[in-house]
């Protein structure tokens, strides 16, 4: 089959699938018109954004960020240890590597909001549920990326340390982790950025922080206050992304750029 023919097939199948799906979900088209009207009315009711109890809001903002920092930190510590058992080049036992990698995959594929719901149900509403949700979901990712960083450590370094008679812990802490440190650090920062963004909205399922405050205003139909909080969330996420990109530019490219300028 020519590539043009594959292309035509692809488009054709997509269109057929779209219409099958559309008929199967059984939409009420009448609601589309009334719904648009309600939506526009609600948007109008949100303006102008209301003044808030600022000390409560500030508390919420800080709580969101604390949740992110604590959750990520817990994930970093646990992942650092578990990734050593997951990395196939240094794992102390045969078979352990795939077990830990499987566990990490399971933690990762369950979305963070599902984790938050699970912990809200089991631990109650509030920051603890948020911390646990972020920690568990993050370690799913961190174990994987840390293990990959460790697997990239030059085999010679490990061989040389083995040849000195060093034990497993000494080899890991003195040789393997320092060699993988740069990528471990940048992955951790990257994860912190993600968690700072998640923690802003995690409260909407009851897991603490600014999101929990928004949940309250929404329940009371205080739409003007809700808009204010949405704007604050936007500012929070924007700040995190802005600072994150600045740090990346400075840490990862900065030194080479600077020497380039002085030399050239």
The only residue of 13, 164, 245, 253 in contact with other proteins, by rule CB under 8 A: 164
Number of Cβ within 10 Å of residue 177's Cβ equals 19
Least separation in angstroms between residue 236's CB and other proteins is 35
Q: How far is the CB of 84 from other proteins (least distance, A)?
A: 11
Regarding 182 and contact with other proteins (CB under 8 A), the answer is: yes
Block residue for tokens 């809700």:
226
CA-to-CA separations, 21 to 9, 17, 24, 32, 108, in angstroms, rounded = 18, 6, 5, 18, 28
Q: Is 31 in the site for other proteins (CB under 8 A)?
A: no
Span from 35-43, 96-104, 159-167, 251-259 in contact with other proteins (CB under 8 A): 159-167
**For the chain, how are helix, strand and coil distributed in percent, rounded to 5?**
85, 0, 15
Q: Tell the smallest beta-carbon distance from residue 174 to other proteins (Å).
A: 6
When asked if residue 166 is in the footprint of other proteins (CB under 8 A), the reply is: yes
Q: Which of 31, 45, 56, 174 binds other proteins (CB under 8 A)?
A: 174
The CB-of-173 to other proteins minimum distance in angstroms stands at 4
As a whole number of angstroms, the distance between CA 111 and CA 30 comes to 33
Per CB under 8 A, 183 contacts other proteins? no
Handedness of CA 34, 39, 42, 44 (dihedral sign): negative
- 33-62 positions binding other proteins, by CB under 8 A: none
Stretch that binds other proteins, among 38-46, 68-76, 176-184, 246-254 (CB under 8 A): 176-184
- Rounded CA-CA distance 212/64 in Å is 9
Q: How many helices (H) and strands (E) does the chain have?
A: 12, 0
Closest CA to 100 of 158, 31, 148, 156: 148
| Closer residue to other proteins, CB minimum distance, 106 or 160 | 160
| Positions that interact with other proteins (CB under 8 A) | 154, 156-157, 159-175, 178-179, 181-182
């Amino acid at each position: 089959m020519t590539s043009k023919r594959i292309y035509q097939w692809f488009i054709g199948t997509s269109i057929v699938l779209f219409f099958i799906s559309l008929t199967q979900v059984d939409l009420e088209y009448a609601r589309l018109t009334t719904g648009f009207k309600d939506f526009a009315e609600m948007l109008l009711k949100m303006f102008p954004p209301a003044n808030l109890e600022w000390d409560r809001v500030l508390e919420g903002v800080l709580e969101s960020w604390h949740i992110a920092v604590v959750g990520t930190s817990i994930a970093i510590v646990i992942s650092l240890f578990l990734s050593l058992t997951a990395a196939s080049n240094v794992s102390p036992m045969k078979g352990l590597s795939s077990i830990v990698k499987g566990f990490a995959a399971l933690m990762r594929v369950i979305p963070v909001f599902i984790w938050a719901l699970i912990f809200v149900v089991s631990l109650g509403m509030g920051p603890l549920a948020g911390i646990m949700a972020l920690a568990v979901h993050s370690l799913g990712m961190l174990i994987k990326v840390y293990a990959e960083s460790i697997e990239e450590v030059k085999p010679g370094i490990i061989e040389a340390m083995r040849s000195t008679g060093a034990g497993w812990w000494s080899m890991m802490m003195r040789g393997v982790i320092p060699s993988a440190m740069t990528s471990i650090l940048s992955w951790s920062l990257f994860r912190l950025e993600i968690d700072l963004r998640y923690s802003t909205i995690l409260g909407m399922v009851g897991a603490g922080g600014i999101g929990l405050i928004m949940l309250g205003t929404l329940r009371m139909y205080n739409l003007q206050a809700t808009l204010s909080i949405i704007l604050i969330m936007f500012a929070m996420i924007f700040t995190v992304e802005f600072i994150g990109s600045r740090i990346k530019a400075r840490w990862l490219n900065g030194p080479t750029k600077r020497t380039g300028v002085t030399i050239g």
